[in-house]
Amino acid sequence: MRELTVPEDIRDLVKGIHEGLLQFVEQEVVPLEERDKEILSDERKLFDERGYLVTRAQEARQHIRKRSAQAGYYAMYAPEAVGGGGVPPRAMVLIQEGYYRNIGPGRLYAGWAKGFLTVPIVSSFVDGPSYMFNYAPEEVRREFLPQLLAGEKTICFALSEPDAGSDVWGIRTRAYRDGDEWVITGTKQWITNAPYADYAVVFAVTDEEMAAKHQGGITAFFVDTSSPGFQRQAVLRIMGHLGSDCGIISLDQVRVPHSRVMGEVNQGFQIAMLGISEGRISIAASCVGLAEYALDRALSYAQERKTFGVPIAEHQAVQFMLADMAIDIFTSKYACLQTAALVELATKGQGRLPVKEISIAKAYCVEACQRVFDAAIQVHGGIGLTDDVPLNEGWRIARTLRIPDGTSEIQRRTIARQMLRGDTAF
């Protein structure tokens, strides 16, 4: 489909990157998948008894990150100002869409491991360099950013807590200043990449009064996870798997130099929202690609599978399901593209940050993706429930993504509040 809403230069950029990414997968990822197929095909071998990836698996991921960085893909979404590729939002949407449509919820092996080595090819705010690093102080840019850009080290985004997920202002982690250092104490939970991160961007309350009034009072700190008092408490086993990238961390009197404050003291909420907004668009775009993958599989199967002497594609009930899938995908894709275009204008100072539209895209695309996978499973019938086709894994991915970076309910609250404040343009 010709993207009438996307300029020619962006389409050319997307085409080149997309072809390069798929070639990278074939040349770099597939050989490692073949080498490690014994552990990738059995989660009991992929994870240890605690739910952590085994050493060989962690090393394989780091190898892919470093090779991707050398090829120019790993940090391509990060801004040029921090050493990234500066790929604009609309291009990101189309790249994510095309990549996930081709890769699908998994490629070669059963279970969660199918996407194991394809995910770390491109960094995001939860594990690598991103727009948040526009706020990084000189010390962080000089000493740590080069390692992140090279894929040698990773970070985690430590915002959520056991009692503060959707309610950011409810975080209990506290930090106080002691001379030229800050002392941080608290617990973070549901943190992607926490089990493996070398560094963490930790958010803590530094002014109780401001935070209570929702007027600031939260500060972002760049923390070395090897610091005394920093502990990885556990890996969270997600949606039927024996492990995951999600974990719990604790900080007990962890000392951080003042020179590692991200942005301004008491203004970390803005940095947090920047990261979350970036994540919401990326998730939405990925869900578009995943949904297209499911529709592709459903269309192919419907034309091959016969019942009552004819392909099931000739049955109206199946046609209606295929049509509903297409409606969801079309709507999702152009919600993403329109939102990304508004983000581009905002970054150029030509418009507001599209808060309402970002929430619309995230909520709709994730829920639509799950509907599409559900319909694809139904089209496949009994085989759709098996691991012979990875549709059940896609459904689980979509179901999982209704939670992070703001639940579907929080997105709806944000949309409603924006409209009640007068933001009713569409």
Burial of 54 (0-12, 13-18, 19+ CB in 10 A): middle
- In the structure, what pLDDT confidence band is assigned to residue 360 with cuts at 50, 70 and 90? very high
**What residue spans of 116-164 are helical by DSSP H?**
138-143, 145-149
Longest pairwise C-alpha distance within the chain: 81
**What residue spans of 119-267 are helical by DSSP H?**
138-143, 145-149, 208-212
Q: Which residue type occupies 216?
A: G
For residue range 287-324, what is the model confidence (pLDDT) as tens digits?
999 999 999 999 999 999 999 999 999 999 999 999 99
For residue range 148-174, what is the model confidence (pLDDT) as tens digits?
999 999 999 999 999 887 778 889 999
| Residues 332 and 365: beta-carbon distance below 8 Å | yes
Per-residue pLDDT at 419? 96
- Residue at 378 is within a domain: no
Per-residue pLDDT at 106? 56
Beta bridge partners of 203: 220
For residue range 183-238, what is the model confidence (pLDDT) as tens digits?
999 999 999 999 999 999 999 999 999 999 999 999 999 999 999 999 999 999 88
- Residue at 42 is within a domain: no
For residue range 26-85, what is the model confidence (pLDDT) as tens digits?
899 888 888 888 888 788 999 999 999 999 999 999 999 999 999 999 999 999 999 999
Instruction: Give 241-245 contacts, CB < 8 A, sequence gap 24+.
Output: 241/43, 241/111, 241/112, 242/43, 242/44, 242/46, 242/47, 242/51, 243/43, 243/46, 243/47, 243/51, 243/52, 243/53, 243/112, 244/51, 244/112, 245/192, 245/193, 245/195, 245/196
Higher pLDDT, 173 or 392: 173
| Residues 186 and 179: beta-carbon distance below 8 Å | no
Counting residues of the chain whose pLDDT is more than 90, the rounded percentage is 73
For residue range 107-163, what is the model confidence (pLDDT) as tens digits?
533 333 445 677 778 998 889 999 999 999 999 999 999 999 999 999 999 999 998
For residue range 393-411, what is the model confidence (pLDDT) as tens digits?
889 889 989 988 889 999 9
**How many Å apart are CA 206 and CA 177, to the nearest integer?**
8
- Residue at 183 is within a domain: yes
Chain centre distance of CA 370? 16
Report in angstroms the alpha-carbon separations of 69 from 83, 146, 245.
Answer: 11, 11, 21
Per-residue pLDDT at 159? 94
CATH classification at residue 265? 2.40.110.10
- Residue at 181 is within a domain: yes
- Residue at 280 is within a domain: no
Structure tokens at 172: 């209990």
351: pLDDT strictly greater than 90: no
Total of domains in the chain: 1
Instruction: Give 108-111 contacts, CB < 8 A, sequence gap 24+.
Output: 108/30, 108/33, 108/37, 108/40, 109/33, 109/37, 109/40, 109/41, 110/41, 110/387, 111/41, 111/43, 111/241, 111/387, 111/393
Report in angstroms the alpha-carbon separations of 38 from 26, 57, 60, 196.
Answer: 19, 11, 14, 22
Report in angstroms the alpha-carbon separations of 359 from 126, 188, 283, 293.
Answer: 18, 24, 11, 23
Report in angstroms the alpha-carbon separations of 4 from 8, 27, 276, 364.
Answer: 9, 33, 28, 22
Per-residue pLDDT at 115? 57
How far apart are the two ends of the chain, measured CA to CA in Å? 24
- Residue at 199 is within a domain: yes
- Residue at 174 is within a domain: yes
Higher pLDDT, 270 or 327: 327
For residue range 2-27, what is the model confidence (pLDDT) as tens digits?
556 788 999 999 999 999 998 998 89
- Residue at 25 is within a domain: no
Structure tokens at 352: 């507001």
Residue the block writes with tokens 């500066």: 86
Please give the residue range of the domain that contains residue 225. Answer: 155-269
